[in-house]
Amino acid sequence: MKKGTFVLVACLAAALTFGTFAEAGYKIVNLPKNLGNPYFDACNKGAQEAAAELGDEVIYQAPSDADATKQIQMINALIAQKVDGIMVSANDPDALVPVGKKAMKQGIVMTSYDATIGEGGRKVFANPANSEGIGRGQLALAAKLIDYKGEIAILSAAAGMPNQTTWIEWMNEEIKKPEYKDIKLVDTVYGDDDDTKSYQKMQSLMKSYPNLKAVISPTTVGLAAGARAIEDAGAIGKVVITGLGTPNQMRKFVKNGACPAFLLWNPVDLGYLVTQITHQIIAGEIKGEPGETFTAGRLGEYTIPENTIILLGPPTEFTKENIDDFDF
């Protein structure tokens, strides 16, 4: 064989080998509740990080608004495309079970994160933190911010969202404790994870309840919209908002006092975790069954519990003292 021919064949062989390697990864879809949500954008950042480490492709898509029917339609389309895995933050836990079962019958690995699909519709659920702790923690933080006295309200996302509903249930349990005897929960309203609607709902709360002291918004969209409404109304110092948000989104409002403090786990880590889990189930490294232990990259070792709900870890309280230490 001539030297030139040998070099050409070697190059072709290397190219073919590289191409095989590049295509060896899995196609996984990250399907959150809706697009345009900074929280889910941060989750996707972690998903892309894990995908790069694992050699997978993570496709980020979701409905424009938080609608379970649209999620079902998208999952059906993904089944037809024969993707390897789908990671879902469910808009409705029960509504997505049938399509989740359908996907798994077709050999697609279904996992959920942030907000679970109901029993039978997924393999495992990557939960940001203990739901009870998140719900009780938000109520406790709001109480601390108003010195345990005054009227409070809740500005949630959409009614029926599993995580929102559970957190609010725990807030209602927490407020029964003696230390909150001087706090009155006057209303719970829903902004449907829409910025404009959440802003308007916050305006209505301040108008309807002139003695309102604090609002809890367990959603990044509602928290930012509510803080902006407080700022625009010149109500900083009169009303505060707290809940769940992202540092980059809330930095201004933490520093100007509209939202003196809020809670959140690291959504980048959550997206990273669920992608690690999904990959390992697809690859057959684990089955997603109770008792299995696996290593989730830089996050370390986890064991799948009996209820198949894997906890990321405790949330962080963000204040003006530490918010500049975070960038997501």
Between CA 295 and CA 161 the distance in angstroms is: 30
Query: Above 50 in pLDDT, residue 248?
Result: yes
Between CA 263 and CA 242 the distance in angstroms is: 8
Q: DSSP character for 248?
A: H
What pLDDT, on the 0 to 100 scale, is given for residue 130?
A: 87
Between CA 55 and CA 66 the distance in angstroms is: 30
pLDDT band at 11 (very low <50, low <70, confident <90, very high): very low
Q: Taking the domain 3-127+267-312, which CATH number applies?
A: 3.40.50.2300
pLDDT band at 21 (very low <50, low <70, confident <90, very high): very low
The answer to whether 3-127+267-312 and 131-264 have equal CATH topology is: yes
pLDDT in tens, 36-56: 998 999 999 999 999 999 999
pLDDT in tens, 160-198: 888 899 999 999 999 999 999 999 999 999 999 999 999
Residues β-bridged to residue 239: 236
Half-sphere exposure (Cβ direction) of 242: Cα atoms closer than 13 Å: 25
Token couple for 146: 């108003």
What pLDDT, on the 0 to 100 scale, is given for residue 24?
A: 56
What Rg do the C-alpha atoms of the chain give, in angstroms? 22
What are the domain boundaries of the chain? 3-127+267-312, 131-264
The topology under which CATH files domain 131-264 is: Rossmann fold (3.40.50)
pLDDT in tens, 60-111: 999 999 999 999 999 999 999 999 999 999 999 999 999 999 999 999 999 9
Which residues lie closer than 8 Å to 191 by C-beta, 6 or more apart? Answer: 155, 156, 157, 197, 198, 199, 200, 201, 202, 219, 221, 222, 225
Provide the whole-model pTM: 0.75
Between CA 52 and CA 46 the distance in angstroms is: 10
CA distance between the termini of the chain: 57
CA neighbor of 241 nearest in space, from 172, 147, 133, 145: 145
